[in-house]
Amino acid sequence: MGTPVLIIGASGSGKSASLRNFKEDEVLIINVSGKPLPFRNRHNTFLSDDYQAILQKIRTTALKSIVIDDCQYLMANEYMRRAKENGFQKFTDIGRNYWDLIQVVIRELPHDVIVYFLGHTELDQNGSEKFKTIGKMLDEKITIEGMYTIVLKACSKDGQYFFTTQTNGADTVKSPMGMFEPAIPNDLKLVDVIIRDYYSGEEPEKCEDCTGYIKATKSQTVKDIIAGTKAKTGKQLCSKCYKGWVKLHETEGV
């Protein structure tokens, strides 16, 4: 059972840029819209908006991390190709094709494969921010976000780019308990590492001082935090307890 992950955000919010720390042999990038990546790279992207070609590619690749960018253009491009067709059948087909793609990820891909769906946002009739779709079928009959356990939102503020991991009450962002801090760096490679650590089946690491779970931060994975705090203090500490230890020792040194 593969893991689908939805990354939403407005145009220019850093969705595609978040791929920059993946090495070229670590990720399969399926380029739906045909635009170049917004950073210097040597990635060989697979250019296609054809569902069958994409399904063939994700079923046969040996890579464990797959990105579909921008996935909503799978629906938008199909709609534009069929715009002159009368009736609602095209909307049914558009919705079904996208649903089928997610089902293949969930039901057919190996358990260690993560597929990231990068897409734009829109506001629903209540003013809440959601994944952008075509027609009403996916919204009214399915609810796309309900098919993902992890939905992150790319954001920017004061020139800083980051992902939010929990809903603000007016969006569909969500993630499993204890997986992320509320805001994390705009770095999909880091996200990939954290998700794999979380689902590894190993017991979550605990702080030796407060006994709480050690969580990844904006710049460090759990393993990085443990290695760093052990090297400095001789104990594995969470970020909060380590800051307290540093403050205490700085005070003692005055």
The pLDDT tens digits for 210-238 are: 998 887 765 677 888 999 999 999 999 99
Residues 34-54: what's their mean pLDDT?
91
Same domain, 81 and 162: yes
Same domain, 187 and 207: no
**Pair 204, 176: CB distance under 8 Å:** no
Same domain, 117 and 63: yes
Same domain, 60 and 168: yes
Residue of 146, 90, 148, 159 whose CA lies nearest to 118: 148
Same domain, 164 and 58: yes
CATH number, domain containing residue 177: 3.40.50.300
Q: Is 143 helix (H, G, I), strand (E, B) or coil?
A: coil
Task: Tell me what pLDDT residue 87 has.
Answer: 87
Residue of 148, 151, 153, 115 whose CA lies nearest to 28: 115
Structural domain count, the chain: 2
Same domain, 16 and 106: yes
Q: pLDDT tens, 134-169? A: 877 777 787 889 999 999 999 999 999 999 999 999
Task: Tell me what pLDDT residue 209 has.
Answer: 93
Same domain, 208 and 183: no
219 CB contacts (<8 Å, ≥6 apart)? 185
Same domain, 92 and 208: no
Same domain, 41 and 121: yes
Return the HEC string of 174-188: ECCCCCCCCEEECCH
Expressed as residue numbers, the domain containing 117 is 3-198
Same domain, 247 and 151: no
Same domain, 56 and 9: yes
Same domain, 65 and 175: yes
Q: What are phi and psi of 55, to 5 degrees?
A: -60, -40
Dihedral sign (CA 11, 14, 20, 24): negative
**Pair 192, 65: CB distance under 8 Å:** yes
Q: Which amino acid is at 171?
A: D
With 90 as the cut, is the pLDDT of residue 67 above it?
yes
Helix, strand, coil % over all residues of the chain, rounded to 5: 35, 20, 45
Residue of 127, 149, 132, 181 whose CA lies nearest to 8: 132
Task: Tell me what pLDDT residue 253 has.
Answer: 55
